[in-house]
Amino acid sequence: MKSQITKAFEKFSGEYLRFNSATIEQHKLIDSIKVCKTEKLGFNVQACQDCGAVHTHYNSCSNRHCPNCQAINKDRWILAKQNDLLPVKYHHTVFTVPAELRTLFMFNKKLLYNLLFKCAWDTIDSFSADPRNRIEAKMGMIAILHTWKQNLEYHPHLHCIIPSGGITANNKWKSSPTKGDYLFDTEALALTFKGKFLWHLKKYFKDGDLHFWDLQEQTQQQYFYYLKETLYAKNWVVYSKKSFTDEQSVFEYLGRYTHKIAISNARIKNVTNETVSFEYTDRADNYKKKIRRIKGADFIKLFLQHVVPARFMKIRNYGFLSSRNKTDMLKKLYRHFELPEYQKPQRILVAQILELLYGVKIGVCKHCGGKLRLIESKPRPRAAPKAA
């Protein structure tokens, strides 16, 4: 049975492309979703030698933006990161940008997404080194890019998971003196983040690195001047969510959000010949669950705006959790916290994940435990869409 997202793309992606352009990555995603877990990507059929039950498995497209394909990628990432967490409190800080920047982000995704990551970490790093904050230690951070609101509108922001402490100059662990959910004063964080971001943004404009759209009656200089003045006048928002009390709560969060995409299949409630209806949570209205129904081509447009550039890293590690420092630092921290010896993560196969997390054994009947025998198969076509 085809998923809701596959039905929507089959019905409406053609109409969308007749009136809109798309990037290479967006074209790849369209082609991938339309055939994901269908006969066009190949399949295998197995029968149980004991009870006779027939099991059919369709190949997935493996595109990182496809709602059908994220579970295994998420599970593999989480299992690989399970030894990176320490027995300390973790803070959850969110960096956002004003709504006035969203169009500029749309036309400069790679450049400004990278800047968002850079300025968020530079802000946390500068605060951790400031004696007034009583840490004076190199902290760590896991940053996750999201680009959507619940209603699928464009809203780039960064979720940051930050251990409550860091590594001192003499390689010792120092816990943050902060109590409660606030790691640092959020208004001060926002002011510093704003200053760093706008400094780089002005430099990008001066160096000609920014791309613009048809500004009609305005010149690029006029548009950027008014944008800059507006952004300086606004209060930027950095906020703290409820902190995590233990490693398990961090895992639960990461499990929900690391490989989350704009919308899941479960939220798409209906696909007709003209519209797509999906569920969302309206945070502005006391977190009520609501249904949004829009034209099919408009749904495709909303979904595609969240496709990130090719090979762009949406999850990044900083400080003592960065790839360059992580192994040596975590070995020392494991000894400090009197934990078993730190083990670098090993590559985990899909079959291992299925058995470990879902109790599914490859080649074994899920009904009776009998042995499965292949009775029919169709290989993945060579020209199948590749993951973006």
More confident residue, 113 or 182: 113
pLDDT value, residue 356? 74
Bridge partner list, 295: 275
Buried b (16+ CB within 10 A) or exposed e, 264-285: eeebbeebeeebbbbbbeeeee
Does residue 37 contact residue 72 with C-beta atoms inside 8 Å?
A: no
More confident residue, 69 or 357: 69
User: H or E stretch including 128?
Assistant: helix 109-129
Integer Cα distance of 227 and 210 in angstroms: 13
Burial class of residue 125, CB neighbours in 10 A (0-12, 13-18, 19+): middle
**Ranked by mean pLDDT, which of 36-45, 132-141, 194-203, 345-354 comes out on top?**
194-203
Integer Cα distance of 85 and 81 in angstroms: 7
Integer Cα distance of 197 and 177 in angstroms: 28
Orientation of helix 247-257 relative to helix 70-81, angle to 10°: 150
Burial class of residue 303, CB neighbours in 10 A (0-12, 13-18, 19+): buried
* % of the chain at pLDDT higher than 90: 67
Phi and psi dihedrals of 71, rounded to 5? -60, -50
- Judged against a pLDDT cut of 70, whether residue 388 lies above it is answered with no
pLDDT band for position 386 (cuts 50, 70, 90): low
Does residue 367 contact residue 43 with C-beta atoms inside 8 Å?
A: no
Per-residue pLDDT tens digits for 215-235: 988 999 999 999 999 999 999
Average pLDDT on 292-311 reads 97
Q: What is the pTM of this model?
A: 0.92
- Judged against a pLDDT cut of 90, whether residue 273 lies above it is answered with yes
- Amino acid type, 277: S
pLDDT value, residue 293? 98
Average per-residue pLDDT in the chain?
A: 91
pLDDT value, residue 134? 86
More confident residue, 251 or 375: 375
pLDDT value, residue 383? 67
More confident residue, 73 or 126: 126
Query: What single string gives the DSSP state of each residue in 372-385?
Result: EEEEEEEPPPTTPP
Per-residue pLDDT tens digits for 115-163: 999 999 999 999 999 999 889 999 999 999 999 999 999 999 999 999 9
- Judged against a pLDDT cut of 90, whether residue 275 lies above it is answered with yes
- Judged against a pLDDT cut of 60, whether residue 71 lies above it is answered with yes
pLDDT value, residue 317? 93
pLDDT value, residue 74? 79
**Token pair listed for 363:** 């080649």
Integer Cα distance of 294 and 316 in angstroms: 34
Integer Cα distance of 77 and 254 in angstroms: 9
pLDDT band for position 384 (cuts 50, 70, 90): low
Integer Cα distance of 110 and 119 in angstroms: 14
Integer Cα distance of 360 and 133 in angstroms: 49
Per-residue pLDDT tens digits for 24-43: 999 999 999 999 989 999 99
